[in-house]
Chains A and B, each alone.
Chain A
Amino acid sequence: MSKTRLIVAAAAASLVGGAVAAGTLDDVKAKGFIQCGVSTGLVGFANPDADGNWNGFDVDYCRALAGAVFGDPEAVKFTPTTGKTRFTALSSGEVDVLARNTTWTFSRDADLKLTFVGINYYDGQGFMTHASLGVESAHDLDGATICIQTGTTTELNLADFFRANNMSYEPVPIETNAEAREQFFAEACDVYTTDRSGLAATRATAEDPEALIVLPEIISKEPLGPLVRHGDDEWADIARWVLNALIIAEEKGITAANVDSMASSTNDPEVARLLGVEGEYGGMIGLSADWAANAIRARGNYAEIFDNNIGPDTAIGLSRGVNALYTEGGILYAPPFR
Chain B
Amino acid sequence: MESAAFVRTEMAAARPPPSMDMGPVGWMRQNLFSSWLNSILTILALLGIFFALVSAAPWLIQSSWTATSLNGCREAIAEAYGEGTHGACWAVIRERYLQMFYGFYPRDSYWRPNLALVMLFVALAPVLFTSLPRRMLWFSAVYPFLGLWLLWGGSFWIVISILFGFFVGYAVLTILMRMFGQLAGVVGGALAAVLYWVILTGTVADLLHAVIPLGIEPVESARFGGFMLSTTIGVTGIACSLPIGILLALGRKSDLLIVKSICVGFIEFVRGVPLITLLFVASTLLNIFMPPGTNFDLILRVVIMVTLFSSAYIAEVVRGGLASLPRGQYEAADALGLDYWKSMRLVVLPQALKVSIPGIVSTFIGLFKDTTLVSIIGLLDPLGLANAIRADANWNGIVWELYVFIAALFFVFCFAMSRYSMYLERKLQTGHN
Interface residues of chain A, those whose CB is within 8 Å of chain B, are 1-21, 40-44, 47-52, 77-82, 84-85, 88, 92-94, 175-179, 181-182, 185, 205, 207, 315-316
**How far does the Cβ of B291 sit from chain A's closest Cβ, in whole Å?**
10
**How far does the Cβ of B308 sit from chain A's closest Cβ, in whole Å?**
11
**How far does the Cβ of A178 sit from chain B's closest Cβ, in whole Å?**
4
Give A75 to B331 CA distance when docked, in angstroms.
64
Q: Which of B295-303, B333-341, B364-372 contacts A (4 or more CB under 8 A)?
A: B295-303
Q: 8 smallest A-B Cβ distances: which pairs?
A: A52-B104, A41-B391, A19-B293, A178-B390, A1-B243, A92-B287, A17-B295, A41-B388
Contact A85 B220 (CB under 8 A): no
Contact A50 B222 (CB under 8 A): no
Give A93 to B296 CA distance when docked, in angstroms.
10
Contact B297 A80 (CB under 8 A): no
Specify which of A3, A6, A8, A16 is in contact with B295 (CB 8 Å cutoff). Answer: A16
Residues of B within 8 A of A175 (CB): 376
Contact B378 A7 (CB under 8 A): no
Residues of B within 8 A of A82 (CB): 376-378
Give A316 to B260 CA distance when docked, in angstroms.
61
User: Nearest A residue to B198 by beta-carbon distance?
Assistant: A13
Q: Is B246 an interface residue (CB 8 A)?
A: yes
Task: Identify which of B95, B376, B391 gathers the most chain A CB atoms within 10 Å of its CB.
Answer: B391
* Chain B 95-115 per-residue mask, 1 if CB under 8 angstroms from chain A, else 0: 110010001100100000000
* Given A4-B240, A79-B298, A85-B283, also A181-B388 (CB < 8 A): no
Residues of B within 8 A of A49 (CB): 392
4 more A-B residue pairs beyond the given contacts A47-B391, A48-B104, A181-B390, with a C-beta to C-beta distance below 8 A: A1-B242, A12-B300, A20-B295, A43-B396
Q: Is B397 an interface residue (CB 8 A)?
A: yes
* Given A8-B303, A52-B103, A85-B283, also A13-B202 (CB < 8 A): yes
10 inter-chain pairs at a CB distance below 8 angstroms, sorted by A residue, are A3-B141, A7-B162, A10-B158, A11-B300, A13-B202, A21-B293, A40-B387, A40-B388, A81-B378, A179-B387
* Chain B 133-163 per-residue mask, 1 if CB under 8 angstroms from chain A, else 0: 0000000010011001000101000100010
Contact B297 A15 (CB under 8 A): yes
User: Nearest A residue to B238 by beta-carbon distance?
Assistant: A4
Specify which of A17, A43, A185 is in contact with B391 (CB 8 Å cutoff). Answer: A43
User: Nearest B residue to A21 by beta-carbon distance?
Assistant: B293
* Chain B 280-298 per-residue mask, 1 if CB under 8 angstroms from chain A, else 0: 1001110110001111111
Give A29 to B407 CA distance when docked, in angstroms.
43
Residues of B within 8 A of A20 (CB): 292-293, 295
Give A48 to B103 CA distance when docked, in angstroms.
11
Q: Is B201 an interface residue (CB 8 A)?
A: yes
Residues of B within 8 A of A315 (CB): 393
Q: Is B307 an interface residue (CB 8 A)?
A: yes
Residues of B within 8 A of A207 (CB): 71, 74, 397
Contact B152 A79 (CB under 8 A): no
Residues of A within 8 A of B288 (CB): 92
Q: Which B64-107 residues have a C-beta within 8 angstroms of A?
A: 71, 74, 95-96, 99, 103-104, 107
Residues of A within 8 A of B201 (CB): 10, 13
Contact B96 A78 (CB under 8 A): no
Specify which of B220, B283, B297, B391 is in contact with A84 (CB 8 Å cutoff). Answer: B283
Give A42 to B392 CA distance when docked, in angstroms.
8
**How far does the Cβ of A170 sit from chain B's closest Cβ, in whole Å?**
23
Q: How many B residues have CB within 8 A of the partner chain?
A: 66
Task: Identify which of B144, B152, B158, B303 gathers the most chain A CB atoms within 10 Å of its CB.
Answer: B144
Give A50 to B198 CA distance when docked, in angstroms.
40
**How far does the Cβ of B202 sit from chain A's closest Cβ, in whole Å?**
7
Q: Which B198-234 residues have a C-beta within 8 angstroms of A?
A: 198, 201-202, 220-223, 225
Residues of B within 8 A of A93 (CB): 287, 293, 295
**How far does the Cβ of B106 sit from chain A's closest Cβ, in whole Å?**
9
**How far does the Cβ of B396 sit from chain A's closest Cβ, in whole Å?**
4
Give A17 to B371 CA distance when docked, in angstroms.
25
Residues of A within 8 A of B202 (CB): 13-14
* Given A40-B378, A40-B387, A92-B288, also A178-B242 (CB < 8 A): no
**How far does the Cβ of A315 sit from chain B's closest Cβ, in whole Å?**
5
**How far does the Cβ of B275 sit from chain A's closest Cβ, in whole Å?**
16
Give A108 to B71 CA distance when docked, in angstroms.
40
Give A278 to B296 CA distance when docked, in angstroms.
42
Residues of A within 8 A of B166 (CB): 3
* Chain B 23-64 per-residue mask, 1 if CB under 8 angstroms from chain A, else 0: 000000000000000000000000000000000000000000
Task: Identify which of A16, A49, A52, A81 gathers the most chain B CB atoms within 10 Å of its CB.
Answer: A52
Specify which of B242, B295, B393 is in contact with A92 (CB 8 Å cutoff). Answer: B295
Contact B377 A84 (CB under 8 A): yes
**How far does the Cβ of B153 sit from chain A's closest Cβ, in whole Å?**
11
Specify which of B193, B287, B296 is in contact with A12 (CB 8 Å cutoff). Answer: B296
Contact A94 B287 (CB under 8 A): yes
Residues of B within 8 A of A47 (CB): 388, 391-392
**How far does the Cβ of B299 sit from chain A's closest Cβ, in whole Å?**
9
Q: Is B380 an interface residue (CB 8 A)?
A: yes
Contact A6 B165 (CB under 8 A): yes
Give A18 to B162 CA distance when docked, in angstroms.
22
Residues of A within 8 A of B158 (CB): 10, 14
Q: Is B399 an interface residue (CB 8 A)?
A: yes
User: Nearest A residue to B155 by beta-carbon distance?
Assistant: A14
**How far does the Cβ of B116 sit from chain A's closest Cβ, in whole Å?**
14
Contact B387 A41 (CB under 8 A): yes
Task: Identify which of B283, B388, B397, B399 gathers the most chain A CB atoms within 10 Å of its CB.
Answer: B388
